[in-house]
Amino acid sequence: MRYEYTLTYRDYLDAEKLHRHNRWRAALSYCVWICVVPILGLLTGLAWVANSYSSPPEWVSNVAAFAGAGLWLAFFIPAMRIYGIRKCWKRLLPESAKKSVRTDISVALEMTPEQIISILPGRSEGRFFWSVIVDYAEDGRLALVYIKKKQFLFIPRRAMDEVGWAELRSHLAGPR
């Protein structure tokens, strides 16, 4: 069966969130790099700034470079995360849409008894045999079909009717 639907940036963000919930290493990496490192960097930098204005002990000048790097990381890492997500999303857009305000992507998904075919019209066509599917995750908004350990197709709930979802689940539950 063939299904045609559009993906939005919100779908992409939801897919990233579901990936973090499904893979503990992705969640741990996210927590460390997006939460812990910037907070530690900010605390280190603020402690250095506060101590440099009071009667500075000798160690304050010794950790200046470390504190400066901490402050830089506190702002750089979250900014690069936002930039990286936007850049990955824009790579999915067709060339004609990259400079426009339209951020929806037309997608076609076809399921045959042998393979699943993901088509981005005018961009690419991916054919994946059911036997190469590594994992599957689903929540109330979308489903992830893992092609590789860190590579997945994301399918929003609105993309298919219940018959299509049942067919997808049956293919994924079958022998691989």
pLDDT in tens, 58-70: 666 677 777 888 8
Q: How far is CA 55 from the centre of its chain?
A: 46
**Residues 132 and 147 sit within 8 Å (Cβ to Cβ):** yes
Taking the domains of the chain in order of start, what are their residue ranges? 2-8+95-173, 10-92
pLDDT for residue 72: 86
The pTM of this model reads: 0.81
**Is residue 1 within 8 Å of residue 111, measured between CB atoms?**
yes
Closest CA to 74 of 50, 45, 112, 99: 45
> Which pLDDT value is given to residue 148?
92
* Whole-number pLDDT of residue 97: 61
pLDDT in tens, 97-114: 655 556 788 899 999 999
Per cent of the chain over pLDDT 70 is: 88
Please report, rounded to a whole number, the percentage of residues in the chain having pLDDT higher than 90. Answer: 45
Contacts of 6-10 spanning 24+ positions with Cβ under 8 A: 6/104, 6/105, 6/106, 6/107, 7/92, 7/104, 7/105, 7/107, 7/154, 7/156, 8/103, 8/104, 8/105, 9/89, 9/103
Task: Please say whether the structural domain 2-8+95-173 has been given the CATH code 1.20.81.30.
Answer: no
Nearest to 136 by CA among 118, 119, 154: 154
Q: What is the pLDDT of residue 56?
A: 63
What pLDDT score does 4 carry? Answer: 92
pLDDT score recorded for residue 126:
92
What is the per-residue pLDDT for 57? Answer: 65
Q: For the chain, which residues score pLDDT lower than 70?
A: 52, 55-61, 96-102, 174-176
Q: What is the mean pLDDT of the chain?
A: 85
